[in-house]
Amino acid sequence: IPLARSRMQGYAAFANKIWNASRFALIHIDTELKSAKAIDRDDLSSVERWILSRLNETTRSVNKALSAFRFDEASNTLYQFFWHEFCDWYIEMVKPVLLDRHGTAQNKAKAKRVLLQVLDRSLRLLHPFMPFITEEIWQKLGGIEPSIMVTPYPVAEEVLEDREAERLISAVKAITTVVRNVRAERGFTPKDRFRLHVRADAPREATFLRDYSYLLVELARLSEVVINGEPPSGAHHDVVEGFAIAIEFPQKVVTPEQMERTQREIEKTRKELASLEARLANVEFIRNAPSAVVEQAQARHSELRARIEKLQQNQ
């Protein structure tokens, strides 16, 4: 079996991610598993319902993969959930509540209970694949059983499924990603904060965005989120998962260093574009390569051209 050093480094990085995320959780969790109160799902925030729904879907997918002896699919599903949903998004979303930047003491207590439950179930799901680190961390959670090895393996529960929470939080994630990308493309730094306008025609969606605008302020580093306001001329407009957004940029002073950095990025992108154009001009490549590969190269070609145009606008 081929052993790739880079893959081993990736697995080590994942173990480190599990350890650091668990350490963050343990700093804030003040209740042991054996004495934790049951979670009233009807009293949870959209963020909490979202992460429990995503964990439930992950649990369903992992059990299905294990039943089919697809251990590769099961491990990859857990990797994607823990790293990209639990660590990259959920922990960042819950920080404002845990660090007393948003919400009440009651909100904080609920956030701690959900964090404990999600970490517990995640560790139990991961245990067959990473037994030692999950056992070490789980022992710190104060469970009733003497070992994680004898705890029940999680199964999906229909009551935890919440497609509406998934849809709304997915929109928050997508809007955040767009704002971050546009900020970088225009040469702004994370220190530069600006106003975001969001159009929500449905009353329920407008209420959600008002209640959870703090997430966008925190995650996308904004000064303010305006719901259904009138954006000024010159704002950057986009449509993200059905929501029309407009980013109101401040007057920007471009320093020589920023201009030089932008020029280097343009030259780097042009070099990749030239290489790709030569590849697409090769008749043998077009004739022999799988159609999916050719389409991917053509799509990348369009992306690079668009990126150069955006970078040139920043000069």
CB proximity list for 188: less than 8 A, separation 6 or greater = 194, 249, 252
How far is Cα of residue 73 from the mean position of the Cα atoms in its chain?
20
Specify whether the CB–CB gap between 281 and 229 falls below 8 A. no
Checking if the pLDDT of 315 tops 70, the result is no
In this predicted structure, what is the pLDDT of residue 287?
A: 85
User: What is the tens place of the pLDDT at every residue in 206-229?
Assistant: 999 999 999 999 999 999 999 999
**What distance in Å separates the CA atoms of residue 18 and residue 20, rounded to the nearest whole number?**
6
Where do the domains of the chain lie? 5-161, 165-248, 256-313
User: Length of the chain, please?
Assistant: 315
Residue/partner pairs of 105-110 with CB below 8 Å, 24 or more apart: 107/45, 110/39, 110/43, 110/44, 110/45, 110/48
pLDDT at residue 49, rounded to an integer: 97
Tell me, what's the pLDDT at 2? 66
DSSP states along 237-262: EEEETTEEEEEEPPP-PPPHHHHHHH
User: pLDDT of 35-75, one tens digit each?
Assistant: 777 788 888 999 999 999 999 999 999 999 999 999 999 99
Q: How many other C-beta atoms can be found within 10 angstroms of the C-beta atom of residue 14?
A: 18
Tell me: the pLDDT tens digits for 146-186?
999 999 999 999 999 999 999 999 999 999 999 998 888 87
Q: Which 8-state DSSP code applies to residue 40? A: -
Mean of pLDDT over the chain? 90
pLDDT exceeds cutoff 80 at 100: yes
What is the amino acid identity at position 297? A
Do residues 48 and 110 make contact, with C-beta atoms less than 8 angstroms apart?
A: yes
Residue carrying structure tokens 């009233």: 40
CA distances (Å), origin 152, targets 80, 124, 144 = 22, 8, 12
**Crossing angle of helices 163-185/46-67, nearest 10°?**
100
172 Cβ neighbours under 8 A, 6+ residues apart: 212, 215, 216, 219
In the numeric block, which tokens belong to residue 311? 């970078």
Residues 6+ apart with CB under 8 A from 283: none
CB atoms closer than 10 angstroms to residue 52 = 24
What pLDDT does 254 receive? 60
pLDDT score at 155 = 97
Q: In the sheet that 195-199 helps form, which strands lie side by side, from edge to edge?
A: 224-227, 195-199, 243-248, 236-240
26 Cβ neighbours under 8 A, 6+ residues apart? 137, 140, 141
Mean pLDDT of 101-128: 94
Class of domain 5-161: mainly alpha
Residue 253's pLDDT is 56
